[in-house]
Amino acid sequence: MEFGIEFVPKEVYWKTTFYSMQAEKRGFDYVWITDHFNNRNVYVSLALVAAYTDKIKFGPGVTNPYLVHPAITAQAVSSLNEIAPGRVVCGLGAGDKTTLKMLNIAMSKPLSTIREAVKIIRRLSSGEKVTLDGDVFKISGAQFLFKPPTSVPIFIGAQGPKMLALAAEIGDGVLINASHPSDVERAVKYVREGVAKAGKSLEELTISAYTSFSIADSIEKAVKAVIPVVAYIVAGCPEAVLERHGLNLEDASRIREAIVQADWKGAFSKVTNDMIEAFSICGTPETVVEKVSQLVRTGVTQVVVGSPIGPNVRKSIDMIAEKVFPHFQR
């Protein structure tokens, strides 16, 4: 059983670096740093993580091929892999609809886009010359002028059935974008389909539950911290998932529009307890241990402690290490 942790580089650079150092010291296996245009640059943040840590694995969690061309992503992760050989991973996904909408970028042909992006990143990061006449990307003899030390494992972020199956088929790992055990259990079924299609064994794949997580010594503190993150999740969530949890589609639409208009108070005020239950692991250590145990029983091999982590990140990392990790074989 592995644990990863996600950091959003919204604070000054040294805080993200410090939290990553602390996560390594307290026993986390992976650091994932988000890639959104409205936060600090993911690769600048990761370069500092590489310089100030020794063994923890790290990478973008996740970047997308709509804002960043796969060749540039391959260049970035391969450059990081020179700094910290064997510790770099690449989290790749179709992107966040709400953020893409802010930039008027359409999420077209997501399955083809991800399939081709993985092919480009994997081959370039292996030092190959790449020619591709794809449905989305056209490349003619692209190759790095430096030799990457090794190829970089690719973890694919997924939520829908087809993307989950594709992620299992072509990825080295799957980042299941879910926190609720019923969603993760359903996702693992599609992961198994993708593994079977590729002729792989399930053991070859790292199956990760990429959760929204908030731990504190009181439920009130944990809930207050997680509300903004749940608002973003609801805003970008497919209607089918919202309906499966019995959530009101009009409420989700109002949250989405409020976020697009930067009406944070309006968006956060519409987040309900049912939304928090559906889209986060939130509570005291005892509650968190039970919820993580439910995820483990679905078959995942990594739980990613996603933002906000808790009302105080430093204290929450210590709390996870001291009160959650001992309940799981490390």
Domain residue limits at 151: 2-218+283-327
In three-state secondary structure terms, 124 is helix
Euclidean distance between CA atoms 191 and 183, whole angstroms: 12
Contact of 53 with 85, CB cutoff 8 Å:
no
- The predicted pLDDT at position 222 comes to 98
Beta strands in the chain (DSSP E): 2-7, 30-33, 57-60, 90-92, 130-133, 138-142, 154-158, 173-176, 206-215, 281-283, 302-309
Would you say residue 25 lies in a domain? yes
Per-residue DSSP letter, 198: H
Closest CA to 225 of 288, 155, 297, 310: 310
Euclidean distance between CA atoms 86 and 230, whole angstroms: 33
- The predicted pLDDT at position 319 comes to 98
Closest CA to 61 of 190, 179, 210: 210
Tokens of 287: 């509650």
- The predicted pLDDT at position 330 comes to 60
Residue type, 107: M
The strand pair at 138-142 and 130-133 is best described as antiparallel
Residue type, 248: N
In three-state secondary structure terms, 71 is helix
State how far the alpha carbon of 153 is from the alpha carbons of 71, 150, 212, in Å: 15, 9, 23
State how far the alpha carbon of 144 is from the alpha carbons of 101, 125, 173, in Å: 32, 8, 25
Euclidean distance between CA atoms 44 and 154, whole angstroms: 19
Would you say residue 256 lies in a domain? no
Tokens of 45: 């943040």
Closest CA to 227 of 186, 273, 162: 273
Would you say residue 251 lies in a domain? no
Residue with tokens 């993708």: 194
Residue type, 324: V
Per-residue DSSP letter, 49: H
Would you say residue 225 lies in a domain? no
Would you say residue 259 lies in a domain? no
Residue with tokens 């939130």: 282
Would you say residue 242 lies in a domain? no
Q: How many domains does the chain have?
A: 1
Would you say residue 306 lies in a domain? yes
Burial 306-319 (b: 16+ CB within 10 A, else e): bbbbbbebeebbeb
CATH of the domain at 210: 3.20.20.30
Tens of pLDDT along the chain (330 residues) come to 899 999 999 999 999 999 999 999 999 999 999 999 999 999 999 999 999 999 999 999 999 999 999 999 999 999 999 999 999 999 999 998 878 988 999 999 999 999 999 999 999 999 999 999 999 999 999 999 999 999 999 999 998 999 999 999 999 999 999 999 999 999 999 999 999 999 999 999 999 999 999 999 999 999 999 999 999 899 988 888 899 999 999 999 999 999 989 899 999 999 999 999 999 999 999 999 999 999 999 999 999 999 999 999 999 999 999 999 999 976
Closest CA to 52 of 9, 17, 27, 87: 17
- The predicted pLDDT at position 121 comes to 98
**Phi and psi angles of residue 100, each rounded to the nearest 5 degrees, phi first:** -60, -35
Give the contacts of 137 (CB within 8 A, at least 6 positions apart): 65, 69, 70, 113, 116, 117, 120
Per-residue DSSP letter, 203: G
Would you say residue 173 lies in a domain? yes
Per-residue DSSP letter, 88: B
